[in-house]
Amino acid sequence: MKVLLLGDRFITNEIWKEAFEKRFADSGMTFEYAAHQLQWPVVPMESNDEVAEYSGTDEELLDLVKDAEIILTHTGCITKKVIDNAPNLKVIALGRGGPVNVNTAACTERKIPVIYAPGRNSGAVAEFAVGLIMSVSRNIAYSHYCLRYQNQWRGDLYANEHVGNECSCGTLGLVGFGAIGSKVAKIMHNGFGSKVLIYDPYIPEAVRAQYPDYVFTDLDTVLSQSDYISLHTKYTKETAGMISAEKIALMKPGAILINTARPQLVDYDALYAALKEGRLGGAGLDVFEDEPPKATSKLYELENVTATPHLGGASKQAAIIGATIACDEVYGYIKEGRMPKFWFNKF
């Protein structure tokens, strides 16, 4: 069978091939490989009216896919044109949490399963979110910037009005309690002793009962009683703009907001205003309305923000886990003839 590796600079072609060959080592099957190198994350992702968050172009894939039976990718631009140009294609597997870069409708027409890898970076994002909490509350990134790049010894940050709280004495508020949010709760509660409040209306009572140390409550309570608020919910019509100016006004003076989820969840203008006024203690932001932010962004006016370029899911383990999950699913479909567990476009 012919396998097309569309690796990028995160899940590389080497990682894809190693995961695939490891899974199929005892299958008795033989494979031919073609490979193409995409440039994300060095070059930012793009989106269009058909697919989103992709790297490269569909035009550069047209000749490559002509003989492909299996496509393994993370950010390849898999449009209808690409699919129509791949008459032998049997399955597409992605090492990411959702197939936004694939025209799944076109795949469904051809009865081509689109496999994905949910939760592949949950550990990475959870640790990163906790890191942002620490960075903002304890002035880690800001004091480093002042010392390293401004030649300023900010001893004044030890003054009582500038110091933060220890996590053991703080309350963590989570918006979303899925694979990532649950790990953030575990780290903060078990590791530091933080109290944990959770808003997630989709968690069944039976699951809530498994976490007697956590308090499941409404959104307003989470926002008004938490010292650290971390967002871990999907972007949907229901969640769009859920952290509005009105909701931000509910937050405790000095509270810290962490967003490693999606920028569309937050009214960033209202957030920036609250940060500039000093009503909120700070924010840790890994996602933005424009990526990268425009040079005129209000973000650059703020000293109480730790800003990172969408790095939350970036760990060596996340790349390997994503490729491994995807290749496991391909094995089940190709070798064992069973439909995948993580199959997006079920038909």
Q: Among residues 9, 138, 189, 310, which one is catalytic?
A: 310
CATH number, domain with residue 32? 3.40.50.720
Q: Confirm whether 270 is domain-assigned.
A: yes
Convert the pLDDT of each residue in 119-164 to its tens digit: 999 999 999 999 999 999 999 999 999 999 999 999 999 999 999 9
| 262 belongs to the catalytic site | yes
Contact 61, 36 (CB under 8 A): yes
Q: What is the mean pLDDT of the chain?
A: 97
Are residues 133 and 82 part of one domain? no
Convert the pLDDT of each residue in 264-280 to its tens digit: 999 999 999 999 999 99
Contact 14, 35 (CB under 8 A): no
As for how many domains the chain has, the answer is 2
| pLDDT at res. 239 | 96
Smallest CA-to-CA distance from 74 within 53, 91, 90, 59 is with 53
Q: How sure is the predictor about 90, in pLDDT bands with cuts at 50, 70 and 90?
A: very high
| pLDDT at res. 68 | 98
How many whole angstroms separate alpha carbon 250 and alpha carbon 236?
Answer: 22
Q: Confirm whether 103 is domain-assigned.
A: yes
| pLDDT at res. 270 | 97
Convert the pLDDT of each residue in 60-75 to its tens digit: 999 999 999 999 999 9
Contact 174, 228 (CB under 8 A): no
Are residues 281 and 223 part of one domain? yes
Are residues 169 and 242 part of one domain? yes
Smallest CA-to-CA distance from 86 within 107, 74, 70, 68 is with 68
Q: Confirm whether 231 is domain-assigned.
A: yes
Convert the pLDDT of each residue in 160-211 to its tens digit: 999 999 999 999 999 999 999 999 999 999 999 999 999 999 999 999 999 9
Q: Residue 64's Cα: distance from chain center in Å?
A: 29
Cβ neighbours for 100, distance < 8 A, ≥ 6 positions apart: 51, 52, 53
| 162 belongs to the catalytic site | no
Q: Confirm whether 339 is domain-assigned.
A: no
Are residues 329 and 221 part of one domain? no
Are residues 280 and 155 part of one domain? yes
| 310 belongs to the catalytic site | yes
How many whole angstroms separate alpha carbon 229 and alpha carbon 13?
Answer: 37
Smallest CA-to-CA distance from 308 within 342, 285, 289, 339 is with 285
| pLDDT at res. 287 | 96
Contact 312, 260 (CB under 8 A): yes
| pLDDT at res. 12 | 98
Q: Residue 309's Cα: distance from chain center in Å?
A: 12
Q: Confirm whether 341 is domain-assigned.
A: no
| pLDDT at res. 122 | 97
Q: Among residues 14, 59, 289, 291, which one is catalytic?
A: 291
Are residues 131 and 108 part of one domain? no
Are residues 132 and 71 part of one domain? no
Q: How sure is the predictor about 8, in pLDDT bands with cuts at 50, 70 and 90?
A: very high
Smallest CA-to-CA distance from 4 within 133, 87, 92 is with 92
Are residues 296 and 243 part of one domain? yes
How many whole angstroms separate alpha carbon 238 and alpha carbon 242?
Answer: 8
Q: Confirm whether 145 is domain-assigned.
A: yes
Residues in the chain: 347
Are residues 14 and 41 part of one domain? yes
Q: Confirm whether 53 is domain-assigned.
A: yes
User: Mean per-residue pLDDT for 41-46?
Assistant: 93
Cβ neighbours for 125, distance < 8 A, ≥ 6 positions apart: 180, 232, 260, 312, 313
Tokens matching residue 279:
């009503």
One-letter amino acid identity for 324? T
How many whole angstroms separate alpha carbon 343 and alpha carbon 108?
Answer: 11
| pLDDT at res. 130 | 98
| pLDDT at res. 253 | 96
How many whole angstroms separate alpha carbon 40 and alpha carbon 10?
Answer: 7
Are residues 320 and 271 part of one domain? no
Q: How sure is the predictor about 236, in pLDDT bands with cuts at 50, 70 and 90?
A: very high
CB atoms within 10 A of CB 195: 18
How many whole angstroms separate alpha carbon 185 and alpha carbon 213?
Answer: 10
Are residues 206 and 187 part of one domain? yes
Give, in degrees to the nearest 5, the angle at Cα 255 between 250 and 260.
100
CB atoms within 10 A of CB 86: 23
pTM of this prediction? 0.92
Q: Which residue has the tokens 């896919």?
A: 65
Contact 129, 108 (CB under 8 A): no
Q: Confirm whether 346 is domain-assigned.
A: no
SS3 99: coil
Q: Among residues 138, 189, 208, 262, which one is catalytic?
A: 262
Helix residue ranges per DSSP H, 150-239: 179-186, 205-208, 219-225
Convert the pLDDT of each residue in 303-330 to its tens digit: 999 999 999 999 999 999 999 999 999 9
SS3 38: coil
| pLDDT at res. 188 | 98
C-alpha dist (Å) from residue 128 to 183, 239, 259, 295, 310: 11, 22, 10, 25, 10
| pLDDT at res. 214 | 98
Query: Which range of residues forms the domain containing residue 98?
Result: 2-120+315-334
| pLDDT at res. 233 | 96
Are residues 225 and 116 part of one domain? no
